[in-house]
Structure 1
Amino acid sequence: MKPRDHHRSIIGIDVGATKIAAGLVDLASGNVRSLTRIPTRRQAAPHDIVADIADIAAAVLETTAGDVLGPMAVGIAVPELVDISGQVRSAWNFPLPDLVATLTERTRLPGRVESDVRAAAFAEARFGAGQDCANFAYFSLGSGTSYTLCLNGRPYTGAHGFAIHFASSALAVPTADRRTLSIATPEDFASGLGMERLWAERGGRPLPDGVQTLETLAASGDARARGVIEDAASIAGRLIAQGVNMLDPEKIVLGGGLGCSDGLYRHRLEEHIRANIWEHSCAGLPIVMAGLGEHSGIIGAALSARAAI
């Protein structure tokens, strides 16, 4: 970071499946001001979603009109694959055509896009739960699942920028009678959306508050709700343990709505992680919740933009 950077800020934007949040991030402290939120219009045309992102960036920029030094750039965290050049390479949630060009035209600032899980991990490494260790594995567990390995304060991108998967590929294991293979994608059962689908497939009624309703039902003694949560936590916990076996991190940091929950899912998740770490001396490694809450994506987007300037 250059000497003058501690006087500068960057607009950070976190684009999620349900909301878009933005704020002005102080590069030295990670503090966020001018926090602004709007709903994500997932069913809108792609260019309209991009226009919403540009609108929220402009709204934050307007709050800096009286500042001696304005923001240096705009950073955007998106729930998609982003390559090492900052290009969005997937459209799992919604396409984002001409995103950086539209933001630059609207704000007159350079822009940089980053994968949301990598941005959040970067923020936790600099200002949150990962700042006291040389390496940690950040797992985001929410509507979907993803991960990032952080080394010496920076997220590891992989050769192309795609090192964020741990539950999205189909796995195959023999069936109980060993006559054939059972093939399934873990994220389809272990994520928040996967749990809701599994609940419905097992005959459950609609869930007004999603997974939180499942937790409430399980706490009241509903065996079906408890079974869905137990199965999801078992799948995710075993996969995270496999990540520990492969990466040998100092610490696990859990983010996302499920990762930062405090009910049955979180309790059973940790049990399955620790039970499936091969080296017993590592089974007691710290497993902590992300420390920056909803600010992590905003802060990480800003840090990613600064690193790319």
Structure 2
Amino acid sequence: MTTRASSSYAIGIDVGATKIAAAWVNMETGTLGPVCRIQTRRNAPGEGIVDDIAMLLDSILPPDGIHNGATAAIGVAVPELVDLYGEIRSAWNFPLPGLIERLSSITGAPVRAESDVRAAAFAEARFGAGRGCSNFAYFSLGSGMSYTLCLEGRPYAGAHGFAIHFASSEMAVPVRDRSELASAIPEDYASGIGMARLWEERGGEPLLHGVHSLEELAALEDPMALRVIADGAGMGGRLIAQVVNMLDPEKIILGGGLGCSTGVYRTKLETQIRSHIWEQSCSDIPLLVAGLGEEAGIIGAALTAWAARQALDVT
């Protein structure tokens, strides 16, 4: 068996619902080069979004080629299901037709896709709030909601690569008089988009900055804003507590715009999580904010691609 030396640099691209970001990443330290960002054209055809990602990648390459061959790989974190082989298997947010082939044709380097929540959790395990922890549950709370269990420094993907859901499935509970069941999808109420929609459904004017505007109103003690946030945090907190009851992790790490917030939502979310953990001796579980912030997706995408390349380089 021989091992071929590979670069300590990889490129990470984080494709989000509102923005796309890319940078070079040092795989030894987790530090980034200059980060380039563009807005995500969610309403554009999938081919147009792929064009934008390709343009962004090309913009961070040096004029003499792909860092003179010094990059190990290119990783792309996407807000979709990605299987164990790096194939994008859903198009809930937007389709990305031919993305991997397109990026590979630009550089000649291997390209690997990964679900954004798993990429961010990998980055936190290696360089962030999960470093040195044998197991933790990472929750991405923002426009949508997803999670990853990390074991011994690596995200657990499941049998097929789809172990990222905790708020996407329809649930049912009895109505008040117990005459029938009422069903709902928690993410539709507890995510950032869900809470903004709930605000409007209860009679509020459209929010200029989405859930951020909702937080500002709650800070001013607007009663309806407080109630919407309490309901969203109540549903999300109960679900996170249920995951803790099922998996018994050492830590909880919260990422995403909502997960990293410090206002009314965060206070109510933590109260709900701790009060619904079944075993009271575990209710003081460390509840940490992601240490890498919005850079976690870029770093994790690069890490995923670099790890896949390392595995191939050992022959």
Unaligned segments of structure 2, at least 5 residues: 310-315
> For residues 218 and 64 of structure 1, do their structure 2 counterparts lie closer, same or farther at Cα, with a shift above 3 Å needed?
farther
| 8 A Cα contact 1:233 1:265, kept in partner | yes
Tell me how far apart the structure 2 counterparts of residues 268 and 94 of structure 1 sit (CA, whole Å): 32
Q: Which amino acid aligns with 2:146?
A: S
Q: 2:257 & 2:43 partners in 1: Cα distance?
A: 22
Deviation at 1:55? 1.2
Show the counterpart of 1:148: 148
The equivalent of 2:168 in structure 1 is 168
Shift of 1:4: 4.3
- Structure 1 equivalent of residue 257 of structure 2: 257
Q: For structure 1, which runs of at least 5 residues remain unmatched after alignment?
A: none
Question: Distance in 1 between the 2:289 and 2:283 partners?
Answer: 17
2:266 maps to 1:271: no
* TM-score computed with the length of structure 2 as normaliser: 0.95
Could you tell me how far 1:253 is from its partner in structure 2? 0.2
Determine the C-alpha separation between the residues in 2 that align with 1:244 and 1:213: 30
Query: Which residue number corresponds to residue 102 of structure 1?
Result: 102
- Partners in 1 of 2:269 and 2:42 — Cα distance? 30
CA separation in 2, counterparts of 1:216 and 1:64?
A: 48
CA contact (8 A) 1:136 1:150 kept: yes
Distance (Å, rounded) in 2 between the aligned partners of 1:267 and 1:64? 50
When residues 99 and 224 of structure 1 are mapped into structure 2, their CA distance, relative to the original with a 3 A threshold, is same
Q: Judging changes above 3 Å, is the alpha-carbon distance between structure 1 residues 56 and 227 closer, same or farther for their aligned structure 2 residues?
A: same
1:34 positional shift: 2.7
Deviation of the 1:209 alpha carbon: 1.1
1:244 is paired with a residue whose SS is helix
Aligned length: 307
Is the CA contact (8 Å cut-off) linking 1:10 and 1:73 kept in structure 2?
yes
Runs of 4+ in structure 1 displaced over 4 angstroms?
Answer: 2-5, 63-69
SS at the partner of 2:10? strand
CA shift, 1:68, in A, is 5.8
Quote the residue 1:12 is aligned against: 12
Cα offset, 1:51, TM superposition: 1.2
Aligned to 2:312: none
TM superposition score normalised by structure 1: 0.96
Residues 74 and 110 (structure 1), Cα distance of their counterparts in 2 relative to 1, 3 Å cut: same
* Alpha-carbon offset, residue 191 of structure 1: 0.1
- What residue identity is the alignment partner of 1:39? Q
- 1:150-229 superposed matches below 5 A: 150-229=150-229
> Shift in Å at residue 128 of structure 1?
0.1
For residues 120 and 49 of structure 1, what CA distance do their matches in structure 2 show? 21
Counterpart AA for 2:105: E
Aligned to 2:313: none
TM-fit CA distance, 1:64: 7.6
Task: Specify the alignment match of 1:27 in structure 2.
Answer: 27
Distance 2:31 2:18 in 1: 23
Matches within 5 A, 1:20-169: 20-62=20-62, 65=65, 67=67, 70-169=70-169
Contact 1:186–1:236, Cα closer than 8 Å, also in 2: yes
Report if the CA contact (8 A) 2:61-2:67 is conserved: no
**Which string of whole-angstrom CA distances, capped at 9 and with x for unpartnered residues, describes residues 210-250 of structure 1?**
11111111111210000000000000000000000000000
Contact residue 66 and residue 107 of structure 2 kept, 8 A = no
1:296 corresponds to which letter in structure 2?
A
Q: In the TM superposition, what is the alpha-carbon distance from 1:190 to its structure 2 partner?
A: 0.1
Identity among equivalent pairs (%) = 61
Cα distance, 1:75 vs. partner? 0.3
Amino acid corresponding to residue 30 of structure 1 in structure 2:
G
Q: Give the whole-Å Cα distance in 1 for the aligned partners of 2:190 and 2:177.
A: 24
Residues 56 and 271 of structure 1: CA distance in aligned 2, closer, same or farther (over 3 Å): same
- Structure 1 residues 200 and 112, CA, compared in 2 at 3 Å: closer, same or farther? same
